[in-house]
Amino acid sequence: MIKVMALMKRREGMAFDDFRKWIMEDHVAFARNLPGLRKYTSNVLRAENADAPFDGVSEMHFDDEAAMAAAFATEAGKAAGGDAAAHCSNRFRMVCEEKLQF
Protein backbone atom coordinates (compact mmCIF):
# COMPACT_ATOMS: atom_id res chain seq x y z
CA MET A 1 0.00 0.00 0.00
CA ILE A 2 1.26 3.45 -0.96
CA LYS A 3 0.08 6.47 0.97
CA VAL A 4 0.51 9.99 -0.33
CA MET A 5 0.39 12.65 2.35
CA ALA A 6 -0.14 16.18 1.05
CA LEU A 7 0.71 18.77 3.69
CA MET A 8 -0.97 22.08 2.86
CA LYS A 9 -0.83 25.69 4.04
CA ARG A 10 -3.81 27.83 3.09
CA ARG A 11 -3.23 30.63 0.59
CA GLU A 12 -2.56 34.17 1.79
CA GLY A 13 -5.76 35.97 2.75
CA MET A 14 -7.81 32.78 3.06
CA ALA A 15 -9.67 32.55 6.37
CA PHE A 16 -8.95 29.43 8.41
CA ASP A 17 -12.64 28.46 8.48
CA ASP A 18 -12.76 28.74 4.68
CA PHE A 19 -9.72 26.47 4.44
CA ARG A 20 -11.35 24.00 6.84
CA LYS A 21 -14.48 23.87 4.64
CA TRP A 22 -12.40 23.51 1.50
CA ILE A 23 -10.21 20.63 2.71
CA MET A 24 -12.97 18.79 4.62
CA GLU A 25 -15.77 19.21 2.06
CA ASP A 26 -15.04 20.88 -1.28
CA HIS A 27 -11.76 19.21 -2.23
CA VAL A 28 -13.17 15.77 -1.47
CA ALA A 29 -15.16 15.90 -4.72
CA PHE A 30 -11.88 16.01 -6.65
CA ALA A 31 -10.50 13.03 -4.72
CA ARG A 32 -13.62 10.97 -5.50
CA ASN A 33 -12.76 11.21 -9.21
CA LEU A 34 -9.23 9.79 -8.89
CA PRO A 35 -9.07 6.32 -10.45
CA GLY A 36 -7.48 3.68 -8.24
CA LEU A 37 -7.80 5.69 -5.03
CA ARG A 38 -8.56 3.19 -2.24
CA LYS A 39 -8.96 5.54 0.72
CA TYR A 40 -8.97 9.30 1.25
CA THR A 41 -8.70 11.13 4.55
CA SER A 42 -8.83 14.86 5.25
CA ASN A 43 -7.12 16.28 8.33
CA VAL A 44 -7.17 19.88 9.53
CA LEU A 45 -5.78 21.61 12.59
CA ARG A 46 -8.32 21.77 15.40
CA ALA A 47 -7.73 25.49 15.81
CA GLU A 48 -6.02 28.19 13.78
CA ASN A 49 -2.31 28.45 14.51
CA ALA A 50 -0.53 31.13 12.51
CA ASP A 51 2.88 29.62 13.42
CA ALA A 52 2.05 26.15 12.09
CA PRO A 53 3.86 25.34 8.84
CA PHE A 54 0.74 23.58 7.51
CA ASP A 55 -3.00 23.88 8.15
CA GLY A 56 -4.05 20.45 6.93
CA VAL A 57 -3.04 17.11 5.47
CA SER A 58 -4.80 14.90 2.97
CA GLU A 59 -4.00 11.20 2.82
CA MET A 60 -4.49 9.18 -0.36
CA HIS A 61 -4.04 5.41 -0.43
CA PHE A 62 -3.21 3.48 -3.61
CA ASP A 63 -2.37 -0.18 -4.22
CA ASP A 64 1.10 0.71 -5.53
CA GLU A 65 3.19 3.49 -7.08
CA ALA A 66 2.00 2.63 -10.59
CA ALA A 67 -1.62 3.19 -9.55
CA MET A 68 -0.65 6.45 -7.88
CA ALA A 69 1.23 7.73 -10.94
CA ALA A 70 -1.60 6.70 -13.26
CA ALA A 71 -4.18 8.52 -11.13
CA PHE A 72 -2.18 11.74 -10.96
CA ALA A 73 -1.61 11.66 -14.74
CA THR A 74 -5.35 11.68 -15.51
CA GLU A 75 -7.46 14.78 -16.10
CA ALA A 76 -9.02 14.15 -12.68
CA GLY A 77 -5.56 14.08 -11.11
CA LYS A 78 -4.57 17.31 -12.83
CA ALA A 79 -7.84 18.95 -11.75
CA ALA A 80 -7.27 17.90 -8.13
CA GLY A 81 -3.74 19.31 -8.21
CA GLY A 82 -4.99 22.54 -9.74
CA ASP A 83 -7.67 22.89 -7.09
CA ALA A 84 -5.09 22.41 -4.34
CA ALA A 85 -2.74 24.93 -5.96
CA ALA A 86 -5.55 27.49 -6.09
CA HIS A 87 -6.25 27.15 -2.36
CA CYS A 88 -2.77 26.65 -0.93
CA SER A 89 0.29 28.85 -0.63
CA ASN A 90 2.49 25.85 0.14
CA ARG A 91 2.13 22.12 -0.45
CA PHE A 92 4.52 19.31 0.34
CA ARG A 93 3.82 15.81 -0.93
CA MET A 94 5.24 12.78 0.85
CA VAL A 95 4.98 9.35 -0.78
CA CYS A 96 5.11 6.73 1.97
CA GLU A 97 4.89 3.01 2.46
CA GLU A 98 2.26 2.33 5.07
CA LYS A 99 2.22 -0.63 7.42
CA LEU A 100 -0.54 -0.94 9.97
CA GLN A 101 1.19 -1.86 13.24
CA PHE A 102 -1.88 -2.49 15.41
pLDDT tens-place string over residues 5-61: 999 999 999 999 999 999 999 999 999 999 999 999 999 999 999 899 999 999 999
| pLDDT at position 96 over 90 | yes
Phi, psi values for residue 37, rounded to 5°: -75, 120
Question: What is the reported pLDDT for 50?
Answer: 85
Question: What is the reported pLDDT for 99?
Answer: 87
pLDDT tens-place string over residues 68-85: 999 999 999 999 999 999
Question: What is the reported pLDDT for 100?
Answer: 85
